[in-house]
Amino acid sequence: MSLSDSLYQEVLLDHYQNPRHHGKMEHSDLHEEGVNPLCGDEVELFLKLKGDIISEISFVGKGCSISQASASMLTDSLYGKTITEAKTLLHEFKGMLLEDKVPNFSEEYEDLESMEAVKKIPARIKCATLAWNTLEKAIGK
Amino acid sequence: MSFDLEKIRRDFPILSTQIGGKPLVFLDSAASSQKPKSVIDTIRKYYEAENANIHRGVYSLSQKATEKYEMARIKTSRFIGAACAKVVIFTRNTTESINLVAQSWGRTNIHEGDEIVLTELEHHSNLVPWQMLAQEKQAVLKFIPLNQDSTLDLSNLDEVITERVKLVALAQMSNVTGTIHDLSAIIRRAREVGAKVLIDGAQGICHLPTNVQKEDFDFYAFSAHKMLGPTGVGVLYAKEEILETMPPWMGGGDMISKVWKEKSTYADLPARLEAGTPNISGVIGFGAAIEYLESVGMQEIRDHELELLQYALDRLEDFGGLELYGTNDLSKRGGVISFNFPGVHPHDVGSILDEEGIAIRVGHHCAQPFMDFKGIAGTCRASFYLYNTKEDVDSLLVGLKKVKEIFGRVLKR
């Protein structure tokens, strides 16, 4: 199996083609835009909170399959979770890509593991982390 | 002489390297060309046996370096058909050459309400310096519009280039679509209204036989690294009578005649516009690049690229389903093919091809106004040079087939 086969496996292409939680959200509690200026990839995140819980989450964006699939996986993973859980997952996801850590995702987050292949293409890591950097800005506020 | 492709390929060491275990297929010369052994050897020889600063030392090593540096200037002037060597100003790149014109000639000659005419196909380096100047001087930017096939719409040229226009600045050949513009009509109109013409030759000089005097360019800017030379060397040519009126834009060593505590007088051309120690090894290496191009012949290079372009366009048309940009009139086009794979982002195409050892450029190619015009995020761009082969084109097609297989799994749903 070649690198691109493993990278562009079904799960990534499925998220790209059928993005989860896609669309703008009115009256969101948290809203942040992220852009990679060199390639022009864009992700816009919307979150609604009930206490500490992410009760609603959505995104819109444009760009390559990796950037958009990653955003779809992010929203899918965090729907119904707490901000604390979001921070833990964010830490783990970025650790996997930026610090070469072996991810230890629980079963419900297994789609995220498909992003590990991006590590072998350094030029594309910024695509995979765009949505997550955007989340970091959103919840850091 | 005959065009010996096999010999040419042997002259470029990088072409026999491998990328991830696969032979390199280099289709990104529009970004930066590869370098022949003669250029690499010339630079090595300079550092090993000839290195010294120029225009300063009385010792023989410095004089020899100066001689080689100035010889490269003479070769450059001959290559572009300039009247003499002193109208060749060395800079760092095309961008710096254009900024030099904007900062020196532009700030002196462009005033409030004056107009600068560009095209919608310009590279950012021939756009942003004029935006900056226009903002500073309250001047107006205007754009020659595009036809759908990426050629210029010259039907209203008289209305775009009016008496208020002081400068028309455009590329000789587009880095995105390969379009070679009809400069003669534009220059004719510019002369009627007394405007100066700047040609961004970054993509043109490396592919097309060019003569700045015959074609009557006022300014001509280009870079060595796209024409087999090293990075960090650019050229500004301008007509002598224009250069003579241009004030220095950077002050420092080498550009002065006499310096007192409070003021200085400035050197004659070309030194007046070349402050500080230049890229000596780069300029000398550039001289070797010019010699190489001359030994092959610019018309031969153009003919070879046209053959490749026709072959590649035919094969890409046959491939089916690709969106191709640019004119089909090859007399108006250089060896550049911009295309999109509907449903697949250019960056994804680039990554999959990279795994096959194929280097293409993907993205907006620093020409965002054109991407807006087409309503696209970017393109995939394959660009050819003298060392490319039909086998390179075949490899590209094999790579694209792989893209289709991988993305076809979801696109079919």
Q: What pLDDT digit, counting tens, does each position of A46-57 carry?
A: 999 999 999 999
List the single residue in A with minimal CA-CA distance to B366: A38
pLDDT above 70 covers a percentage of chain B that reads 99
Residues of chain B with C-beta less than 8 angstroms from the C-beta of A8: 348, 352, 406-407
Asked if the model's pLDDT at residue A141 lies above 70, the reply is: no
Q: Please, are residues A103 and A112 in contact by the beta-carbon 8 Å criterion? A: yes
B117-144 burial by CB neighbour count: b if 16+ within 10 A, else e? bbbbbbbebbbbbbeebbeebebeebbb
At residue A31, what are phi and psi to the nearest 5 degrees?
Answer: -145, 130
Asked if the model's pLDDT at residue B409 lies above 80, the reply is: no
> Would the CA dihedral through B21, B22, B24, B27 be positive or negative?
negative
Please give the helix or strand (H or E) that residue B146 lies within, else none: none
Which residue has tokens 């900024």?
Answer: B99
Q: What is the secondary structure of B211-231 as a DSSP string? A: -TTTTT-SEEEEESTTTTS-T
Q: Which of B84, B206, B366, B380 is labelled catalytic?
A: B366
DSSP type of residue B344: B
Rounded Cα distance, B391 and B398, in Å: 10
Strands B88-91 and B140-144: unpaired
- Chain centroid, CA B296 distance in Å: 19
Tell me if B348 and A10 make a contact (CB, 8 A cut-off). no
A118 token code pair: 């991006």
Asked if the model's pLDDT at residue B225 lies above 80, the reply is: yes
Please give the helix or strand (H or E) that residue B200 lies within, else none: strand B196-200
pLDDT for A69: 95
Q: Please, are residues B397 and B404 in contact by the beta-carbon 8 Å criterion? A: no
B366 annotated active-site: yes
Q: Please, are residues A84 and A69 in contact by the beta-carbon 8 Å criterion? A: no
pLDDT above 90 covers a percentage of chain A that reads 69
pLDDT in tens, B82-99: 999 999 999 999 999 999
**Nearest 5°: CA angle at B390, between B387 and B392?**
70
Residues of chain B with C-beta less than 8 angstroms from the C-beta of A10: 409-410
Q: Which residues of B touch A (CB under 8 A)?
A: 344-348, 351-352, 354-355, 363-364, 377-378, 402, 406-407, 409-411, 413
Asked if the model's pLDDT at residue B295 lies above 70, the reply is: yes
What residues contact residue B100 under an 8 Å CB cut-off, 6+ apart? B89, B91, B236, B249, B273
Nearest to A62 among B363, B377, B406 (CB): B377
Q: DSSP 3-state assignment of B359? A: strand
| Mean pLDDT for the stretch of residues A66-72 | 96
pLDDT band at B381; cut points 50, 70, 90:
very high
pLDDT in tens, B175-213: 999 999 999 999 999 999 999 999 999 999 999 999 999
Q: What is the pTM of this model?
A: 0.90
Mean confidence (pLDDT) of chain B: 95
pLDDT for A110: 87
The complex's ipTM? 0.82
pLDDT for A105: 87
B374 token code pair: 């087409």
Asked if the model's pLDDT at residue B410 lies above 90, the reply is: no
Asked if the model's pLDDT at residue B257 lies above 70, the reply is: yes
**Helices H / strands E in chain B, number of each:** 14, 17
Region of poorest pLDDT, from A5-19, B187-201, B237-251, B268-282? A5-19
Tell me if A3 and B406 make a contact (CB, 8 A cut-off). no
Rounded Cα distance, A90 and A75, in Å: 12
Residues of chain B with C-beta less than 8 angstroms from the C-beta of A65: 344-345, 348
Strands B361-363 and B18-19: unpaired
| Mean pLDDT for the stretch of residues B220-224 | 98
Q: Among residues B320, B116, B258, B83, which one has the least CA distance to residue B198? A: B116
Q: Among residues B65, B47, B48, B68, which one has the least CA distance to residue B56? A: B65
Q: Is A87 left (phi over 0), alpha (psi -120 to 50) or beta?
A: alpha
